[in-house]
Chain A
Amino acid sequence: MLKVNDIGKTYGKFIALENIDLEVADGEFLAIMGPSGSGKSTLINILGLLDQNYTGEYLLKEKSYKDASDNYLSKIRGDQLGFVFQNFKLLTTYSVYENIEVPLIYSKQKQANKRELVESVIKKVGLEGKEKNLPSELSGGQQQRVAIARAIVNRPNLIIADEPTGALDSKTSKEIMNIFTDLNESGTTVIMVTHDSEVAEYAMRTVFIRDGRLYNDEKSVKK
Chain B
Amino acid sequence: MLDKVMIALKSIGKNKNRNFLTMLGIIIGITSVICILAIGDGFTKVETKGLQDHNTKNRVTLSFTPSSDDDTTSGFTRNDLSVLEGITGVDHVKLTSVNPEASVTVQHQAKKSSAGLNKVPKKLKLSEGFGTTLNTNDTSDIFISKDLADKVFKGKALNKRLVINDNVFVVSGIYKIGDFSYRPDIYVSKTTFKQLFASQISQDEAKIYVKSSASKKRVSKSALNEMKKFGEDAKLGKYGVSHVDQITKSFTKTLNNITYFVAFVAGISLLIAGIGVMNVMYITVSERRKEIGIRRAFGATSGDIRNQFLIESIILCVIGGLIGIALGYSLVSIINHFLPFKAVVTAYAIVMSLSVSTAVGLIFGFIPSNKAAKSSLVGLLKEE
Count A/B pairs, Cβ under 8 Å: 61
A75 touches B299 (CB 8 A): yes
Establish whether residues B381 and A74, one from each chain, have CB atoms under 8 Å apart when the complex forms.
no
Is A67 an interface residue when CB atoms closer than 8 A count as contact? Answer: no
A:82-119 near B, CB below 8 Å = 83, 85, 87, 89-91, 93, 102-103, 105-107
Contact A154 B299 (CB under 8 A): yes
A74 and B378: CB pair below 8 A? no
Determine the residue in chain A with the shortest Cβ distance to B308: A105
Interface assignment of B302: CB less than 8 Å from any CB of chain A? yes
A213 contacts B by Cβ under 8 Å: no
Please state if A106 and B297 are interface contacts (CB–CB under 8 Å).
no
Q: Cβ of A91 and Cβ of B299 under 8 Å apart?
A: no
A25 at the interface (CB under 8 A from B): no
Residue A71 at the chain B interface, CB threshold 8 Å? yes
**Is B256 an interface residue, CB under 8 A from the partner?**
no
CB <8 Å contact, B294 and A102 = yes
Task: State whether B300 touches A74 (Cβ < 8 A).
Answer: yes
Check A78–B302 contact: CB distance below 8 A.
no
Docked Cα-Cα span, A154 to B11, in Å, equals 25
Contacts of A150 in B (CB 8 A): 298
Q: Does residue A23 face the partner (Cβ distance < 8 Å to B)?
A: no
Contact count band on B: 20 to 34
Q: In this complex, which of B10, B293, B297, B378 has the most chain A Cβ atoms within 10 angstroms of its Cβ?
A: B297
> In the complex, what's the smallest C-beta–C-beta distance from B99 to chain A, in angstroms?
72
User: Which of A48, A71, A89, A91 meets B301, CB within 8 Å?
Assistant: A71
Which of the residues A70, A83, A90 comes within 8 Å of B297, measured between beta carbons?
Answer: A83
Write out, one digit per residue, whether chain A residues 45-72 have a CB within 8 A of any chain B CB (1) or not (0). Answer: 1001011000000000000000000110
Residues on A with beta carbons closer than 8 Å to the beta carbon of B296? 74, 77
Q: Is the CB of B291 within 8 A of A91?
A: yes
User: When each residue 1-24 of chain B gets 1 if its CB lies under 8 Å from chain A and 0 otherwise, what string results?
Assistant: 001000000110010000000000
Which A residues are in CB contact (< 8 Å) with B381?
Answer: 45, 50, 85, 89
Q: CB of A79 within 8 A of chain B?
A: yes
Given A50-B378, A51-B377, A89-B290, A74 contacting B299 (CB threshold 8 A) = yes
* Closest Cβ neighbor of A107 among chain B residues: B299
Contacts of B299 in A (CB 8 A): 74-75, 77-79, 103, 106-107, 154
| Distance of A136 from chain B, by nearest CB (Å) | 14
Q: Say yes or no: B302 contacts A89, CB within 8 Å.
A: no
**Contact present for A89 and B294 (CB under 8 Å):** yes
CB atoms of B377 and A102 under 8 A apart:
no
B121 is an interface residue with CB less than 8 A from chain A: no
Report whether A71 and B303 are in contact in the complex, using a CB–CB cutoff of 8 Å. yes
Task: Report the bound CA distance from A78 to B377 in whole Å.
Answer: 14
A58 to B291, CA, bound (A): 28
Cβ A102 vs Cβ B298 within 8 A: yes
Chain A nearest CB: distance from B375 CB in Å?
12
Take A75-B299, A93-B14 as given contacts and tell me if A106 and B304 are in contact as well, using a CB distance cutoff of 8 Å. Answer: yes
User: Is B384 part of the contact surface with A, judged by Cβ < 8 Å?
Assistant: yes
Contact of B378 among A51, A75, A89 (CB under 8 A): A51
User: Smallest Cβ distance from A138 to chain B, in angstroms?
Assistant: 17
Q: Are A71 and B302 in contact (CB under 8 A)?
A: yes
Contact B298 A103 (CB under 8 A): yes
* Complex CA–CA separation, A169 to B96 (angstroms): 102
Q: How near does chain A come to B65, taking the closest CB pair, in angstroms?
A: 72
| Minimum Cβ distance to chain A for residue B242 (Å) | 64
Docked pose: A154 CA to B298 CA in angstroms: 9
Q: Which 4 A-B pairs have the closest CB atoms?
A: A78-B299, A106-B299, A103-B298, A74-B301
User: Apart from A74-B304, A77-B296, A87-B384, what 13 extra A-B contacts exist at CB < 8 Å?
Assistant: A45-B378, A45-B381, A48-B297, A50-B297, A74-B296, A74-B299, A74-B302, A77-B299, A78-B298, A83-B298, A93-B14, A106-B298, A106-B299
Binding site for A on B (CB under 8 A): 3, 10-11, 14, 290-291, 293-304, 377-378, 381, 384
Which A residues have a C-beta under 8 Å from some C-beta of B? Answer: 45, 48, 50-51, 70-71, 74-75, 77-79, 83, 85, 87, 89-91, 93, 102-103, 105-107, 150, 154
8 A-B interface contacts by CB (under 8 A): A70-B301, A74-B301, A77-B296, A79-B299, A89-B290, A89-B294, A102-B295, A102-B298
